Homo-oligomer: A and B are copies of this chain.
Amino acid sequence: MSAIELVGGRPVAIVGAGLVGAGWAIAFARAGLTVRIYDSNQDTADASLPWAAEQLEALHKHGLLGDAPDTVKRRLTVVQTLEAGLDGCAYVQESVLERVDVKRKVMLEIERLAADDLIVGSSSSGIAASAFANDLTISPRVLIAHPVNPPYLVPVVEIVPSTQTSPQAVIFVDALMQAIGQSVVHVRKEIEGFVLNRLQAVLLREAWALVRDGVASCEDVDKTVRDGLGWRWSFMGPFETIDLNAPGGVADYAARLGSLYYSIAKSRTGEGPWEPELVTRVEAERRQYLPATELASRRAWRDDRLMSFAAIRSRSGSHE
């Protein structure tokens, strides 16, 4: 089913129109959906439209829009109240501040205003839905739909139900996300960091430890990933990578290298938090490669590279 069919022709709402929420607005509008944008700070909501227009132009240049940028832009409307945002909506993507009390407050407001069948996805990157969405009439219809930024470029989205989310809500959000072109990962337990940030966390911890111990510089760690490991991971993922890296597949790989990897893991079990002195050292090394004044332009470079990457992937098929 198309995204429009899934929502029965009804609009979707964005609540919280910062970088994440505004990014979601583009992802939904690109798929043909009518999108209402609300933010408790009216300036934030207003600023999202010209920003989205710029992104749509860039997407168009990279061949990543099916419709004309103006056509997609016309699907976006800023509304003044949460009530106006939710009226008649089939789905709302909540992207407010990452704080339990703030998210709980929004859920209480949504409960008061929403239609009986509204489904609520939260962009929370770390807080589990059970911490702010339970024991409400809407609880069976709330879950986490955690994107990578920006969601209209990097397709992965983690769906994490709370202890009270209904299977129907999970099925709906899975279908909607796939219909707008996202790649859905089901996280089946409310574990800290979900899957994506856990995987990033362990790699980062080893990276910091290698720099701390004088084994390699930050730049050499970055090279190891961007000129080595990252190539395969950008189209295969870690399990497929090792499955293809031993003659007999993944079990063969585990037999050959499991003990080495266990030994490496054991060597790090006594680690503490990142020391302030180490953070200072890493910051200093990064600033040699990229002065603080160039952070913004480098982010623009990154987004341009991600658009090129997305364009290549959309031509070659994501996994075939």
CB within 8 Å of B: which residues of A? 126, 148, 154-156, 158, 183-189, 191-193, 195-207, 210, 213-240, 242-244, 248-251, 254-255, 258-265, 267-274, 279-280, 282-283, 286-287, 289-290, 292, 295, 298-299, 302, 305-306, 308-309, 312, 316, 318-319
Contact = CB atoms under 8 A, between A and B. Distances in A.
Contacts of A187: 215-216, 220
Contact of A229 (B200, B220, B250): B200
A175 B63 CA distance: 40
Given A188-B214, A224-B195, A286-B249, A262 B237 contact: no
Contact of A286 (B215, B239, B267): B239
A185 B286 contact: no
Contact of A185 (B184, B189, B198, B224): B224
A276 to B, nearest CB: 9
A215 B239 contact: no
A273 B262 contact: yes
B223 A156 contact: yes
Please give the count of copies of this chain that the complex contains: 2
A223 B219 CA distance: 27
A243 B224 CA distance: 17
Contact of A231 (B213, B234, B267, B292): B234
Contacts of A236: 222, 225-226, 230, 302
A306 B192 contact: no
Given A156-B228, A185-B221, 10 more contacts: A155-B228, A186-B216, A192-B260, A195-B224, A198-B206, A201-B264, A219-B239, A235-B309, A249-B286, A251-B280
Given A206-B198, A228-B148, A250-B282, A126 B319 contact: no
Contacts of A235: 226, 230, 305, 309
B240 A222 contact: yes
A121 to B, nearest CB: 17
B204 A261 contact: yes
